């Protein structure tokens, strides 16, 4: 099963749920955990280990100056404004390029070829027996999160149990991570912000056809509105984790709840089994 952990709102505890789920499952079966929050990946902080790096590159145009006649067809075609043709040279703005390859197709002189450009890195490690960690990291200042997520997911292709930790929000990085997953866990917190953003996340999961369940984190008991929302939308509450200074402290120092307090393992194992049983999961 490919299981994604998502949330509209940031900081609700996605990585905490993903890390504890992976840790618990890895005690009994092989698991791959993929950090798809490539803008701010955090899972490696909970699973320190020596990693091997693998660059993520995207193809970008390179102009063969002597062949270019400065006709301007490439810049006219580029929908992203990444190419500007001057009478004597071509300016290329790589941060605007989406690597579609359009410019190489339209150039009548064949003066554009493509070269790989690094946008991020994958770090692969085996922090625990049975656990494989694939951590995608976007290079600082690069806007192109999606190719890094795509490559990180590819690296886990064929693995039997895959847990994907996604970025907060509801736009391209989340869509890229959720796409093709069998189920997702939406982590929320019992505040109006948490509920507002949970509604958005539920909407994204539904549009992508990914069955969803909910984990309420840092609950202070005032979860009525969230519970009502879940009832109205037929969403299973997979687990409620109370607000507790000790749990917060375990998390903040980079430790795992299920390691420090093994009595939590059965709850996380139950989440996984409930996800397998969600309506629509094959």
Q: Rule CB under 8 A: is residue 208 a binding residue for another protein?
A: yes
DSSP 8-state symbol, 139: P
Question: Helix, strand, or coil here: 88?
Answer: coil
Q: At what angle do helices 265-276 and 14-26 cross, to 10 degrees?
A: 90
How is residue 279 written in tokens?
Answer: 């309506």
Sign (positive or negative) of CA dihedral 12, 14, 19, 21 = positive
Q: Residue 31 CB, nearest distance to another protein (Å)? A: 21
Residues 215-234 that bind another protein (CB under 8 A): 220, 222
Stretch that binds another protein, among 20-28, 123-131, 133-141, 261-269 (CB under 8 A): 133-141
Residues 50-69 that bind another protein (CB under 8 A): none
Stretch that binds another protein, among 27-35, 84-92, 198-206, 267-275 (CB under 8 A): 198-206
Contact 44, 279 (CB under 8 A): no
Q: Rule CB under 8 A: is residue 20 a binding residue for another protein?
A: no
Q: Rule CB under 8 A: is residue 87 a binding residue for another protein?
A: no
CB atoms inside a 10 Å sphere around CB 271: 22
HSE value, Cβ hemisphere, 13 Å, CA-based, for 239: 25
Stretch that binds another protein, among 25-33, 164-172, 261-269, 272-280 (CB under 8 A): 164-172
Residue from the set 1, 128, 175, 269 that interacts with another protein by CB under 8 A: 175
Residue from the set 55, 171, 231, 276 that interacts with another protein by CB under 8 A: 171
Q: Rule CB under 8 A: is residue 39 a binding residue for another protein?
A: yes
Q: Rule CB under 8 A: is residue 143 a binding residue for another protein?
A: yes
- The binding site for another protein (CB under 8 A) comprises 8-12, 15, 37-40, 42, 45, 77, 79-80, 98-102, 105-106, 138, 140-145, 167-175, 179, 189, 191-193, 196-197, 200-201, 203-204, 207-208, 220, 222, 245, 248-249, 251-254
């Amino acid at each position: 099963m490919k299981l994604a952990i998502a949330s509209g709102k940031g900081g609700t505890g996605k990585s905490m749920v993903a890390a504890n789920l992976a840790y618990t499952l890895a005690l009994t079966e092989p698991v791959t955990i993929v950090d798809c929050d490539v803008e701010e990946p955090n899972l490696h902080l909970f699973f320190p280990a020596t990693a091997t790096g693998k660059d993520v590159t995207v193809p970008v145009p390179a102009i063969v100056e002597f062949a270019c006649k400065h006709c301007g067809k490439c810049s006219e075609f580029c929908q992203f404004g990444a190419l500007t043709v001057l009478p004597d040279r071509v300016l290329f703005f790589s941060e605007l390029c989406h690597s579609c390859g359009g410019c190489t197709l339209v150039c009548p002189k064949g003066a554009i070829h493509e070269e790989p450009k690094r946008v991020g890195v994958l770090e692969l490690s085996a922090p625990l027996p049975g656990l494989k960690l694939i951590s995608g990291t976007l290079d600082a200042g690069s806007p192109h999160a999606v190719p890094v997520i795509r490559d990180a997911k590819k690296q886990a292709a064929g693995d039997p149990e895959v847990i994907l930790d996604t970025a907060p929000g509801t736009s391209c990085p989340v869509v890229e991570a959720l796409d093709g997953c069998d189920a997702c866990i939406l982590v929320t917190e019992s505040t109006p912000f948490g509920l507002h953003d949970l509604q958005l996340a539920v909407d994204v999961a539904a549009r992508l056809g990914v069955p969803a369940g909910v984990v309420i984190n840092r609950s202070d008991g005032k979860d009525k509105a969230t519970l009502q929302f879940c009832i109205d939308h037929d969403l299973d509450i997979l687990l409620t984790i109370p607000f507790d200074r000790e749990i917060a402290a375990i998390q903040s120092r980079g430790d795992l709840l299920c390691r420090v307090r093994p009595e939590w393992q059965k709850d996380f194992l139950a989440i996984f089994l409930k996800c397998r049983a969600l309506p629509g999961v094959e």
